[in-house]
Structure 1
Amino acid sequence: MTCTYLITGANRGLGLEFSRQLAARGDRVIAVVRREDAAGGVAALAARVVVAEVTDAAGVEALGREVAGEKVDVLINNAGVSSEGKTLAGVTAGEMERVFRVNSTAPLMVTRAALPALRAGGRRLVVNISSQLASIANNTGGSSYAYRASKCALNMLTTCLANEFRGEGLCFVAMHPGWVKTDMGGPQAPMTPEQSVGWMVKTIDGLSMAESGRFLNYDGKGLPW
């Protein structure tokens, strides 16, 4: 069955690869990019390109208007940033606010804006791209304060949404994509975007309400909070 996917950060990295793989199999992609001149290769893949700055209230409102008449099956909150300060000495309040705005607040606001379109869709699924660095249980190394904390907050928001909308049949999961060769992951990462997204698409295809509120690895295995 053909589905409609709404993907943020769709012009590069994992977002672009999601767009490529989903479009190749016949799914309909609505690609969200920050600037029109940044659309790049995704413009040829997506059924629609929506220009919206998802960290800006006006941008999110505009996104909501753009998709108001759509039937969105799956929202992939993919847009994210890494943090500069890796240690306590290097982190600043401004850095914490910037990273939280992109990695935590923006996915929540995008979800709210897209909610009418998700309710109209068939699958009613939201995938928040998280990170294993958000795992408190697995944090033995410290560092990357802003990034870890922002993704941990995203995980909490995922469970809150899952609990609030379970009665409506809306499914929310947080997903670790693996360590991937992207601008964020760096060239030393063991996985390519094609490999990571291939796994995630397979996992997303198999998700049901039984997984709502869970923190999953790209291969569908559960990760500890």
Structure 2
Amino acid sequence: MPNAVITGANRGIGLELTKQLLAKGWDVYALCRHSSDELNESNAKVVTKVDVGNPDALPNALAKIKDVKIDLLINNAGVLGKDSIDEWDPHTIEHQFRVNALGPLLVTQVLLEQLKKGAKVAHITSRMGSLADNASGGYYGYRMSKAALNAVGVSMANDLKERGIAVALLHPGYVQTEMVSYGGDISAEDAASRLLDRIEDLNLNNTGSFWHSNGEILPW
């Protein structure tokens, strides 16, 4: 069976990605800070106390899966702050950077030697990280951190291509999850299904692309 590693797998998109990959016959290593009843009831191999926003503790946390050969790594864990030009907190902005941008980079670096040749890395980013697409402003920390993640993904695609590893930057859509108080326009189940379609389409010819889960190429 192929092996997938997913961060932030205890709820929302991460949980749905876990369930759908399990249904396709994958072994899934579901990483999270704290598990959930629904995740525990799945057949995933649950690994708790994985905080991608804590770089000092991350290597030890990921050592729990050090013997796993990885076919697919999905960096899904993320946080959303609502800082504006008038109301902001530098600590909140820094936390978003640690989780949304630095976290995926460090997780991939720590697990790098476990990625098989031909493996795929998917970063769950956001079109809010697009400079060209920003017509509404606000959300400074979130936008900045996702733009930084996009930069990480493009560099990673270039660095890993010679190893046969393809990298995607994927916007799931406006998804009905706890992060947005369930105010989205697409269910987590549908978003996960579309994301897996994009991952299926990922190869070394389109590595480093910034995709909407519906297949649209997004502007930087």
Q: TM-score per shorter chain, which class? A: over 0.9
Secondary structure of residue in 1 paired with 2:161: helix
Match for residue 14 of structure 1?
13
Deviations 1:5-54 (A, max 9, x none): 1000000000000011111121110000113xx34321232441112222
Answer whether contact 1:176 1:217 (CA < 8 A) is retained: yes
1:49 to 38, 42, 46: 46
Structure 1 residue ranges without an equivalent (≥5): none
Answer whether contact 1:30 1:46 (CA < 8 A) is retained: no
Secondary structure of residue in 2 paired with 1:82: coil
Post-superposition offset of 1:63:
3.5
Deviations 1:61-103 (A, max 9, x none): 1243222211111100000000132x11111211211110110
Distance 1:44 1:4 in 2: 19
- Structure 1 residues 123-142: aligned runs within 5 Å: 123-142=118-137
Tell whether 2:96 aligns with 1:99: yes
Deviations 1:149-181 (A, max 9, x none): 100000000011111121111111110000010
Post-superposition offset of 1:57:
2.8
Give the aligned CA root-mean-square deviation in angstroms: 1.4
Distance 2:186 2:43 in 1: 24
Structure 1 stretches (4+) deviating beyond 2 angstroms? 43-47, 185-188
Secondary structure of residue in 1 paired with 2:6: strand
Distance 1:23 1:43 in 2: 13
Match for residue 165 of structure 1?
160
Deviations 1:173-221 (A, max 9, x none): 1100000100113333110011111111112112111121111110232
Answer whether contact 1:82 1:147 (CA < 8 A) is retained: yes
Identical columns (%): 34
**What code does the residue aligned with 1:125 have?**
K
- Structure 1 residues 56-95: aligned runs within 5 Å: 56-85=54-83, 87-95=84-92
Post-superposition offset of 1:122:
5.2
Answer whether contact 1:9 1:80 (CA < 8 A) is retained: yes
Q: Work out the number of aligned pairs and report it.
A: 219
1:213 to 205, 208, 215: 208
Distance 1:60 1:220 in 2: 32
**What code does the residue aligned with 1:113 have?**
V
Distance 2:114 2:68 in 1: 5
Answer whether contact 1:177 1:217 (CA < 8 A) is retained: yes
**What code does the residue aligned with 2:155 have?**
C
Secondary structure of residue in 2 paired with 1:124: strand
**What code does the residue aligned with 2:38 have?**
G
Secondary structure of residue in 2 paired with 1:211: coil
Match for residue 150 of structure 1?
145
